[in-house]
Chain A
Amino acid sequence: MNIHVAGENALIVYVGDQVSPEVTQNILHLCQQLRPYVGRELIDLVPSYASVLVIFDPLKIDHLAVRKWIRFAYESHFNSHSDDQRRLVRLPVYYAGPDLQRVAEHKSLSSDEVVERHSSQSYQVYAIGFAPGFAYLGELDESLVMPRLDTPRKRVPKGAVAIADRQTAVYPKQSPGGWNLIGYCPIPMFEPEEQPPMPVQSGDLVQFYAIDEQTFFDMGGELPKGEIA
């Protein structure tokens, strides 16, 4: 573990330099240990693939004390044995995205095989960012790795299930985006008025399962009107 200065009120903790299950577990534990202090000496935590940004209030605590807290929190974890407490969240997908066929052709698979491979494993929520409720999920099966679009779409519809590199995600609302769209999820990923506002959180496991068009509509899903340009 390495701790670096990020700014006047932030330290960045690099738990590893690559993504691994162990790194992910350690990030999760570090955040669990530090979370109770958010709203007091700490202002916020931003977990990501291999790091945690720890934001503190410099009028209440200095960076040296925060470093000590981080080390203590991190080491206390190593002394205890931790069970895998990750939740598994299952999300339905109507696999009818505009890029499904192209992905299949590009990978010399049938579209059923793409669906099968996308929905047959669970994914870790590595980070939440880009937009409210946007969860970066990994790691996608090697056989589905696709580059981002050369030209990002101006409007990716809400609920679109997408893949790029070794990642997959559900767009929480209409936004620009360059990922390949393979389906639609009827479950909203971000509802500001609900508690909790997101069905998933950092550290959760997500598994997708295929549903048909009727089920998609029954679950409240909406398809984008017209062509997706």
Chain B
Amino acid sequence: MALQIIDPGFLTLTQDLGRFGQHHLGLTTGGPMDPFAFRFANRLVDNQANSVALEITMGGFKAVATQDMCVAVTGAKVDVSVDGKRQPQWRTLYIKNGQKIELAYAVKGCRIYLSVAGGFDIKKQFDSASAVVREGIGGINGGKLESGAELKLKKRNSLNQAWYLPESYIPNYGNHAVLRVIPGYQEKHFSRHQQRRFFYHDFRISDLADRMGYRLQGPKIECDINGILSEGICLGAIQIPADGQPIVLMNDRQTIGGYPKIGSVLSLDLAKLSQLTPGATVNFEPISIDHAHNLLHLADHKFKQIELKPCLLEANHERGFDV
């Protein structure tokens, strides 16, 4: 009784909100690259915020339900079908035992989230089920999901109400993002001129962009030091190595490192960055830490205010199914 993976696509990982308080062992945080889409995936099936869902990168995913279940698909725009029939995203879907759910390739954005009512039953390691492939920690044997994997559901959750997120709240993933930066770390080692270059130019996302870091290409940013004593790296830190090409450090970053950093990207904008694919562009905008805190509080408030709308719980457009 589970969701059985037929084809995991390019990269599918189990994720909860992440692994915290374990940096002293060298463990990174992991967690969903786009927490907004992840949280809504869970909300749409009445789950706790930290329930385990799937992060599917790029799509190309196929699975079969071996029990009745309620699911939701959020994040990157992708064709979703159940037994070949098109289904909406950002809405509770009802899948019957034996039905096949398929995701095509993402057409806008690249991180897709699939939740099930109750959440997936994955053993936690260091308080989290988030899979970090580089560390071999979390998920199923610390790796990405393979064909044939059986994902058990935490419990049979009896939803009697389906929900959808109104269109106006659904993020529109584009080809450019403005990344707000809190200047910090070694910012003083970047001259005014270099800071201007950094904040006045667009950067292109290179092919080397993964859950650990996004390498960007643009004008060479120079720093008056080459390296520093290795020190802790926070989420979103922008490392500038000797080649002057920035690397934005993401969820699976290593916990310490010795490259100079000009500052860190606001987490709300990291979610947008993580939905961009190589070739897309970004530009940076400086903000103060106080402004950042205001934005985080506002976003948290807005998130809590967004109300899902009730709709009918249907399977294949047949009405009257109760879970």
- Could you tell me which A residues sit within 8 Å of B by CB distance? 4-10, 12, 17-19, 38-39, 43-53, 55, 58-59, 62-63, 127-134, 136, 173, 190, 192, 197-198, 201-202
Contact = CB atoms under 8 A, between A and B. Distances in A.
A132 B185 contact: no
Given A6-B264, A192-B137, A51 B229 contact: yes
A53 B266 CA distance: 17
A58 B234 CA distance: 13
A49 B258 CA distance: 11
Contacts of A47: 24, 232
B236 A7 contact: yes
Given A5-B289, A12-B232, A63-B289, A129 B297 contact: no
A6 B237 contact: yes
Contacts of B26: 128-134, 190
Contacts of A131: 26, 134-135, 254
Contacts, number: 138
Contacts of A5: 182-185, 289
A63 B293 contact: yes
27 contacts: A5-B182, A6-B185, A6-B237, A6-B264, A7-B235, A8-B292, A8-B296, A12-B184, A18-B229, A43-B20, A44-B22, A46-B233, A46-B256, A50-B231, A51-B232, A53-B233, A53-B234, A59-B300, A127-B256, A128-B26, A129-B26, A129-B230, A130-B26, A130-B254, A131-B134, A132-B27, A198-B25
Interface in B279-321: 289-290, 292-293, 296-297, 300
Nearest to B29: A44
A46 B229 CA distance: 13
A200 to B, nearest CB: 10
Nearest to A167: B230
A7 B25 contact: no
Contact of B296 (A12, A58, A129): A58
A53 B232 contact: yes
A58 B264 CA distance: 15
A72 to B, nearest CB: 20
Given A10-B264, A190-B25, A49 B293 contact: no
A58 B290 CA distance: 10
B9 interface: no
Interface size band for B = 35 or more
B229 A48 contact: yes
A19 B231 contact: no
Given A8-B293, A132-B137, 6 more contacts: A7-B184, A8-B289, A46-B232, A53-B234, A190-B26, A192-B125
> For A10, A55, A128, A136, which residue has the most chain B Cβ atoms within 10 angstroms?
A10
A7 B264 contact: yes
Contact of A48 (B21, B231, B265): B231
B267 interface: yes
A44 B20 contact: yes
B23 interface: yes
Contacts of A48: 229-232, 256
A127 B230 CA distance: 8
A122 B60 CA distance: 53
Can you list the 4 inter-chain pairs with the closest CB atoms, starting with the nearest? Answer: A53-B232, A46-B232, A7-B264, A129-B256
Nearest to A128: B26
B10 interface: no
A192 B185 contact: no
B255 to A, nearest CB: 4
Contacts of B234: 6-7, 9-10, 53, 55
Contacts of B256: 46, 48, 127-130
A51 B229 CA distance: 9
